Amino acid sequence: MPLKLMKTLALSLALLCTACHGLGHYDPQARPLSEALPPPNSGPLYQTRQTLMSEHEGETGLLLLRDGLSAFVARVAMIEAAQSSLDIQYYIFSPDVSGSLIISKLLEAADRGVRIRLLVDDIGTPISDPHVSTLAQHPNIAIRIFNPVAGRAGLSRSLQLAFGFSRTNHRMHNKLMLADHTLLLTGGRNVADEYFSNNEVDFQDIDVVAVGEVVTQGAQSFDEYWNSPVAVPTSALLDADDADMTLDELRSALKDFLHEQRHSEFARALAESSMGQALLTGEIELTWGQATLHADPPSKAYARDDTPQDAYLGTLLRREMDNTRSRAWLTSAYFIPGDKGVELLSTMERKGVDIRVLTNSLSTTDVAIVHSGYSRYREPLLESGVALWELRSQAGQQQRMHWFHGSSRASLHAKTFVFDEDRTFIGSVNLDGRSLLQNTEVGLLIHSNAINQQLSQIFEEWVHGDSAWKLSLTGDGDLRWQASNDGEPLELDHDPETSGWQRFKVWWLSLLPIESQI
């Protein structure tokens, strides 16, 4: 055997050993356990809760965050107002403009004594930045990585992910933020510029702020994830000696960054928004109703054989679908119903339920392989009477242009469901196999006619002809896409705003037997 080949095989075996051992040095029992802190008895959020709850005991106050700017402002306001604790759980937390601004606010909060627990997913947020080692050295900041591998980058990481696929395939897709055990924020958005309308891709999404007993449910869910055995402290993954700056140097760097951004469109929009102040003073108008936070158990990601499917969030959604009598309007960025889903929706339609679905078109999806899984179900859904729309790439531009110059490509990222006239679900779960079977998810089930009406109105705006393509079948069973530009009708016989090569790739991908993984 050639020497070069022998060396290559030896290196591969060494790396495979690393992959097999993974986090062999890590002992979850050695971690300090922690629980959510009780609400403080003073501070802005305490006063806000007292003001808002004085006339609504036993109810949940709710605020929908439709545009990216409001969603960002709400997060910053919660961080700036916190006096006791911040618990933050995200699939993606990017160190871009919005992420760096939030990190700077978190460091300020930690400096004034707020305890911060940050839990991120290892695939959505692969932690390798030396700044993280610096941030984690703060006595009031703890960072944990969900379901990680030991390798932080390069071939070693790739091999560990590949050879540990049965474990690493299951990700924490949750999005949850809690401030002072008083305010909760959840929904579809991660922390990155594209979720806050500051990017060439503008995600159409929905978050919700909640105040009331549902916050305690959110705190219990966070604690369950934080103390799960696969929530690994950064100290087990990163060497503190690799930190390339001290905490004081990081503070200075973030201060310089804020100074550089002071004239940016994003900073101006943030400074001119009054929503955050209104939220903190209790002057913002909330909608009141009943809400329950539901989350997959974290064991869905690492002990699936011991986790009954009745505990899955998808089981709750199926139950709500079964109980629906008049309408189910479903918004799902990734929509792969499968044969069982088509049968469920078809059966509901035959019973007189108005089924409407909005998802991404091929031109607006950020994951083409997902579109390949969805596209095969369009014809059977339409044949059964389900109304189907796909987002257009220019959707939402007027709303975005209020703050930002220049255009962006729209992409649907929302996961919202309207049931009958009284119930809604807002969260992180898509209607596809990955969300329902592989990943962990979270969301709010809301009983409120008013929230139901608000989400219904948003859905109708999203599926308007200027924002979405309505699909139909010709007499010969061929697909048609219909929309409008300033009232002028449009009709196409192929996926809009795409090339023949794009359509061919999606067709080819649709032949692969990987539906449960996408």
Question: What residues are annotated to the active site?
Answer: 173, 175, 180, 413, 415, 420
Among 105, 74, 68, 75, which Cα is nearest to 89's? 75
Asked whether the CA dihedral 409, 414, 417, 421 is positive or negative, the reply is negative
* DSSP reduced 3-state for 137: coil
Question: 354 exposed, middle or buried (CB, 10 Å; 0-12, 13-18, 19+)?
Answer: middle
CB 181, CB 219: distance < 8 Å: yes
Provide CB contacts within 8 A for 120, sequence distance 6+: 89, 90, 91, 92, 93, 127, 143, 144, 145, 146
DSSP structure string for 32-44 = PP--PPPPPSSSH
DSSP state of 336: -
The values of phi and psi at residue 389, to 5°, are -125, 150
Round to whole Å and give the CA distance between 439 and 313: 10
Angle ∠(258,261,264) on CA atoms, nearest 5: 150
Round to whole Å and give the CA distance between 266 and 402: 12
Exposed e or buried b per residue across 426-440, where buried means at least 16 C-beta atoms within 10 angstroms of its C-beta = bbbbbbbbbbbebbb
Round to whole Å and give the CA distance between 433 and 515: 7
Round to whole Å and give the CA distance between 446 and 83: 28
Relative orientation angle of helices 3-21 and 154-163, to the nearest 10 degrees: 60
Tokens coding 468 = 């979405």
Q: Which residue carries 């009598």 as its tokens? A: 325
Provide CB contacts within 8 A for 311, sequence distance 6+: 296, 297, 300
The values of phi and psi at residue 394, to 5°, are -100, 10
